[in-house]
Amino acid sequence: MQPGAIVQGDAFAIGGNLQLEDDVQVAGDAFAIGGRVLRSESALVVGNEFTVLENYSGLFERFGVLGTLYLGNVAFWVITFAVAAIAGCLLLLLLPGHVDDIATVIHARPVMSLVYGIGGFIALIILTVLIAGSIIGAILIPLANLVVLFTWLLGGIATCVWLGKRLRSHQPDAHFQQFWLGLILLFAISLIPIAGGLLVSLISLFGFGATLLSRYGIQTANTLPIGLDRLEHQAE
């Protein structure tokens, strides 16, 4: 910033250093993302000075802001899919019938699965808002998050199996192969900048909702009401 400049709010820099020259005045905070705050002795910062991701400044300098954000997105999905791969193998060994039933519900009741997925997500938000800060909330919110995490994981694995079945319809019982095919496909989609992560999240809502709709694979698609999927089945 030029000498003598006056900033009424916050001053920040993304992907580089924030340089505060002589007699600069910042009424708010001064912070840098992927860099440092360099302040001369005569510069004044009323608020706080802090840095975020300072140790990754080399990445910002080499790949730029968008490139570094994309690498961070890739790292996030690599970890996510690695966890899903391990959990998927375990659940396919322990609960193969439940996973297959949920995958069948995704195929037979796609609209209801999406509705249940969105509804379950909204219900979690409402529950968190209503009981946050209370003694009951301190107990129920962590438990609810664990249940949602398991539900999302089980639904995600079933989604991978469902996608794999679409790719290899001639091998309907090869669940492990179907799971890996679906997982690789979703991972490839997640690598698409911006849209990829949103698309994977949307697809996972079908699995999340189908898990709730089938009561974690206890109910089969044949025992569920057609509901909002009625028009689709009439067309068939």
pLDDT tens-digit readout, 95-119: 888 998 999 999 888 888 999 999 9
144-180 tens-digit pLDDT: 999 999 999 999 999 999 999 888 766 666 788 999 9
Residue 223: predicted pLDDT: 66
Q: How far is CA 114 from the centre of its chain?
A: 16
Both structure tokens of 130: 């209503």
Q: Tokens 């975020």: give the residue.
A: 52
How confident is residue 231, by pLDDT bands cut at 50, 70 and 90?
very low
Both structure tokens of 112: 């209801």
In this structure, the number of other CB atoms found within 10 A of the CB of residue 94 comes to 9
Measure the CA–CA gap between 137 and 91, rounded to whole angstroms: 30
What SS3 state is found at 134?
coil
Name the packing angle between helices 195-213 and 175-190 (round to 10°): 140
Measure the CA–CA gap between 58 and 15, rounded to whole angstroms: 9
Give pTM, 2 decimals: 0.73
CA nearest neighbour of 209 among 229, 189, 235, 193: 229
How confident is residue 236, by pLDDT bands cut at 50, 70 and 90?
very low
